Structure 1
Amino acid sequence: MRHQCVRAIVVALFGFFLTLGATPDGLAADSDQYDLVIYGGTSAAVTAAVQASQMGKSVVIVSPDRHIGGLTSGGLGWTDSGNKSKVGGLAAEFYHRVWRHYEQPQAWRWQTPEEYGKVGLVVPKGDRGRPTRWTFEPHVAEQILDDWLEEEGVWVVRDAWLDREGGVERRGRRVIAIKTLDGQRFAGRVFIDATYEGDLIAASGVSYAVGRESSQQYDEQWNGVQTGAFHHRHNFSVLNRPIDPYLVPGDPASGLLPRISSEPPGINGAADQRIQAYCFRMCLTNCPENRIPFPRPTGYDPAQYELLARVYDAGWRETFDKFDPMPNCKTDTNNHGPFSTDNIGYNYDYPDASYERRREIVAEHEQYQQGLMYFLANDQRVPQEVRDQVSQWGLAKDEFVDNHHWPHQLYVREARRMVGEHVMTENELLKRRPTPQPVGMGSYAIDSHNVQRYVTPEGHVQNEGDIGVSTKSAYQISYGSLVPKREECENLLAPVCVSSSHIAFGSIRMEPVFMILGQSAATAAALAIDNGVSVQEVRYTQLRERLLEDGQVLE
């Protein structure tokens, strides 16, 4: 740790001397001046910082989180990658480092490599690339990311929360510094918002969207309310009979069961402010020596899960279909079915909420999901064979050790989305029209989780908003989706809360893509500094050349 601090001080001083007398708009250099200030602790923040450091820029990560990596180190080990050959640059380097870790015998504590098999393993033929592994334990991902930043001498300031009310200092069209709630100030030449929430773009006065646009706004098929679209098995239509939504079946006067909205779903294709559901990606284990039985959470109310009991009564038995295997007898457990870990309808105010309100939302999600697992393992309304199987699983003792073995990162699938120079829509993803100035690629299906749970006109419960549409092949992501409109800000980039429609973001929002865009954003930031121009004025030919040189895949 001492060595890391010394290296960070050296890097900071080096950046100070480089920028002395050469700051934009006459900004006076001082001891907290950096070429690049990154706000956020996601995987995109890491690749952005590494890229900036490798391009000779002084850089600091100001992270509201104590743990670096966001969902990549927060339980999402079953990487939603799509076409892995389109993941290049530093993103591919991360998955190569995961492979290197699991090549070490000491990495296999609870299982042998042979027992785990080749899940998530990609070994290219000949000289077409390096081997990678796309499944991993949370603590392994975090250690890899921390080590990477230490190698590059990147200073990481943890548990530092942006003052969203008055913590962004601007001069004209430029951000010159940000301040955190604890009084720290970070001045920079270029800034990157690498948060899932888009807090820096919002506090900087940059335009953004929340919720679903209408299908007409960008001429899209799958945006807006989508009643009647059932693309996965996360809806009540998969059951062999309809489910009654009322406390007393058949009696609307008795009121609705918990977790069902009394609001109508809205007109098909219409815009709304609703957000696709969040959950925690749990790391579970069935290894007895490493397993902690599911705890009964404080405030546990079994009535919250009555709807799930009715789902089981209807014959549903897919409880374990998304217990995706990770090394060492662990899982990345995700939502599956009509009533599962997705906490539908309890996050609508999260994107613009205060820090205090967000903490309340996170706590409610934690109580709901912990209660769900306790219910599955213990409640008599759950079929005996399901209870018996669930009871073989539990939280992993060696994961999230400072958070009661529960993931430290809520899966914020979508929050704010910048409205920038270019808005990515399903039309680019489905190749109906070309993408200008590509700086990376995605290929995962257009994927939105459920947005609401409501009562149909027939008096049955149903979910809405779960969309899965194949892009059929990889698609390009525009540089314009990373930068604000020039009249709003000239030195800010957003590789996570990118300029995108709701439905296009359903594919872009994958962790490897965030890593790709983090690297591309930092490359553009460095070129803007070198050439003394705004991020909107970076010459694309020069940006493209450097991205290809550094291994990005653009077509």
Structure 2
Amino acid sequence: MKSILSIFIVLCYFNSTAQTNTTHQADIVIYGGTSSAIVAAVKAKQLGHSVLVVSPDKHLGGVSSSGLGYTDSGNSRLIGGLSKTFYQKVYNYYQDIKVWHWESMEDFHGEGQGTSAINTQSKTMWVFEPHAAEHIFDTWVAENNITVLKEEWLDRNKPIIKASTTIKSFYTLSGKKIEGKIFIDATYEGDLMAAAGVSYHVGRESNAVYNETYNGVQKEVYQHKHNFKKLKISPYLSPRHKESGLLAKISNQNPGKNGDGDHRVEAYCFRMCLTKVPHNRIPISKPEDYNPMDYELLARVYKKGWKATFQKFDGIPNLKTDVNNHGPFSMDNIGMNYDYPEASYEERKAIAIEHRRYQEGLLYFTATDSRVPKKIREEMQKWGYPKDEFTDNGGFPHQLYVREARRMVGDYVMTEHNVLGKSDTNASIGVGSYALDSHNTQRYVTAEGHVENEGDIGVEPPHPYKIDKGTILPKASECTNLIVPVCVSSSHTAYGSIRMEPVFMILGESASQIASLAIQNKVKVQDVNYKELQPLLIKSGQILENK
């Protein structure tokens, strides 16, 4: 999976980072460059605090500015506060006719997910180009005079400096010392949280842990169309000969019993932005180490008559698309990310490179291989990477879509019971509404000798649900000045609903409001009084009721 060249490049990058032994201080230190991190920073600054964003990323906004332009909005009416402000900024951005380079505003007829693409009543827009989102985040940071240290990585080989349960400082790989009163870990991976000694979980809990139904192994649970259910495809190199060995990307491990917990993590992918516009298109080309046999499973799917290749090419402005996983063999690189959550930076980079090569190869295979139906090949040949997106990365997204990594285990753990309306809270800091949604976690061989995917769930809640304050707070016995709005305290199945970008922004804003009160009242983040917090969240436009 890891080529020698890839590893060499990564090691050179980290070893060449300049050593600068300087100290940076702020009331509220936010680690991460995600959408949640930027919203948290804006809120903290609005509340009058000194703020420092320490971002491992060069480009701000996480996957919101890295290809995920077709927003997983759920019930958009329940997205408030600065999260809603972001989508209003998107709306305002596209009111300028000068940003419509490849089509006119009038000709754009995209649709949003669960909402209209453009809501003229609320002046929000729910689909957008990657560079537009990055521009909005960058402008937001500049307007609020927020200090951002980009490409600064937590030094995971140096212990975080703590006084009992209070973080005092941490170091970056470049030698910077970062000091603060309150720390917010707004990364997808939860590295600061883990380094602070906070409890967390990786993988799926068994259903028995929280008395759930949709956690753990979910064999033959078919709630989407991302499976081989009726196709009955052989997993072997030579279809009728088990001794020939397995095709690429198929596990030789026992998939486990339904409901049992395991170490497996739902699949990642890059949310790719593609275009058909000839003058703005970088042609799809053969990636390094391309092996057409890596896509033999897809060839067999086509042979069975599958025709949904372009089903999730969701339209975004300027004749581009946000491409998501769809079908039994697609953009999700199933089973190739299990090590990612706890991996070193070098190992994560290698995993991301492998995911990129997989998806580049998938596009190339679909556009060129004779095993692909001619009509599909000809259609794919019309697509390419946009020249005006990810201009320093060959038109390819910067950020791997890390759907789930570590999840904190606090005193309060959200479960599917919250999402499905069987449990409620009196300390709401935001509302979620998306389905319990997990992508597949493994591709295995069934007892009948066929290939199958496992782990995909999609259960709609009966109504929106409230997110408890404790969801973003560690146990007080472990850390009293850390807030975690992304790797939240939840079960795997509940996280499938919470893990949407608008919700991460909602929780980022609530995190900064809690941080502000903790500083103001000189108390632990866990001791912030909800009766004091609630009216401040409401005043800022946050929506706390699931109605």
Q: TM-score range by the shorter chain?
A: over 0.9
Deviation of the 1:119 alpha carbon:
3.1
Hey, what's the Cα distance between the residues in 2 that align with 1:328 and 1:63? 30
On the 8 A contact 2:429/2:467 being kept in 1, the answer is yes
Deviation of the 1:524 alpha carbon:
0.2
The correspondence for 2:329, drawn from 330, 336, 339, is 339
Paired residue total? 520
Hey, what's the Cα distance between the residues in 2 that align with 1:124 and 1:364? 42
The correspondence for 1:61, drawn from 53, 58, 65, is 53
SS of the residue aligned with 1:175?
strand
SS of the residue aligned with 2:107?
helix
The correspondence for 1:50, drawn from 28, 42, 58, is 42
On the 8 A contact 1:233/1:338 being kept in 2, the answer is yes
SS of the residue aligned with 2:138?
helix
On the 8 A contact 1:213/1:501 being kept in 2, the answer is yes
The correspondence for 2:528, drawn from 532, 538, 542, is 538
Equivalent position amino acid for 1:484 in 2: P
Counterpart position of 1:88: 80
Counterpart position of 2:305: 315
TM, length-normalised to structure 1:
0.93
Hey, what's the Cα distance between the residues in 2 that align with 1:408 and 1:485? 34
Q: Give deviations 1:476-514, integer Å, cap 9, x for gaps.
A: 111101010000000000000000000000010000000
Please tell me whether residue 548 in structure 1 is matched to residue 538 in structure 2.
Answer: yes
Counterpart position of 2:223: 231
Counterpart position of 1:18: none
Deviation of the 1:71 alpha carbon:
0.5
Hey, what's the Cα distance between the residues in 2 that align with 1:259 and 1:133? 38
Q: Give deviations 1:517-550, integer Å, cap 9, x for gaps.
A: 0000000000000000000000001111100000
Q: Give deviations 1:236-284, integer Å, cap 9, x for gaps.
A: 01x4x31011111111011111111111110110000000000000000
Equivalent position amino acid for 2:290 in 1: Y
Deviation of the 1:162 alpha carbon:
0.1
Alpha carbon RMSD of aligned pairs, Å? 1.0
Deviation of the 1:115 alpha carbon:
1.5
SS of the residue aligned with 2:515?
helix
Counterpart position of 2:400: 410
On the 8 A contact 1:235/1:337 being kept in 2, the answer is yes
Q: Which aligned pairs between 1:431-470 and structure 2 lie closer than 5 A?
A: 431-470=421-460
Equivalent position amino acid for 1:411 in 2: Y
Q: Where has structure 1 moved over 6 Å in runs of 4 or more?
A: none
SS of the residue aligned with 2:28?
strand
Counterpart position of 2:208: 216
Hey, what's the Cα distance between the residues in 1 that align with 2:25 and 2:324? 42
On the 8 A contact 2:269/2:332 being kept in 1, the answer is yes
Please tell me whether residue 144 in structure 1 is matched to residue 107 in structure 2.
Answer: no
Counterpart position of 1:134: 126
Describe the shift of the 1:303–1:118 C-alpha distance in structure 2 as closer, same or farther (beyond 3 A).
closer
Hey, what's the Cα distance between the residues in 2 that align with 1:404 and 1:220? 44
SS of the residue aligned with 2:477?
coil
Q: Which aligned pairs between 1:56-455 and structure 2 lie closer than 5 A?
A: 56-117=48-109, 119-120=111-112, 121-123=117-119, 125=121, 130-237=122-229, 239=230, 241-455=231-445
SS of the residue aligned with 1:405?
coil
SS of the residue aligned with 1:277?
coil
Q: Give deviations 1:380-406, integer Å, cap 9, x for gaps.
A: 111100000001101000000001110
On the 8 A contact 2:439/2:456 being kept in 1, the answer is yes
Hey, what's the Cα distance between the residues in 2 that align with 1:86 and 1:485? 28
Equivalent position amino acid for 1:288 in 2: P
Hey, what's the Cα distance between the residues in 2 that align with 1:519 and 1:540? 15
Equivalent position amino acid for 2:337 in 1: N
Deviation of the 1:123 alpha carbon:
3.1
Equivalent position amino acid for 1:387 in 2: R
On the 8 A contact 1:72/1:511 being kept in 2, the answer is yes
On the 8 A contact 1:291/1:393 being kept in 2, the answer is yes
Equivalent position amino acid for 2:45 in 1: S
Deviation of the 1:168 alpha carbon:
1.5
Deviation of the 1:76 alpha carbon:
0.1
Equivalent position amino acid for 1:456 in 2: T
Counterpart position of 2:463: 473
Hey, what's the Cα distance between the residues in 1 that align with 2:267 and 2:426? 31
On the 8 A contact 1:75/1:282 being kept in 2, the answer is yes
Identity of aligned residues (%): 56
Structure 2 residues without counterparts, runs of 5 or longer: 1-21
Hey, what's the Cα distance between the residues in 2 that align with 1:438 and 1:258? 45
Structure 1 residues without counterparts, runs of 5 or longer: 1-29
The correspondence for 2:25, drawn from 33, 52, 58, is 33
Deviation of the 1:194 alpha carbon:
0.4
Hey, what's the Cα distance between the residues in 2 that align with 1:334 and 1:167? 38
SS of the residue aligned with 2:210?
coil
SS of the residue aligned with 1:49?
helix
The correspondence for 2:486, drawn from 473, 496, 502, is 496
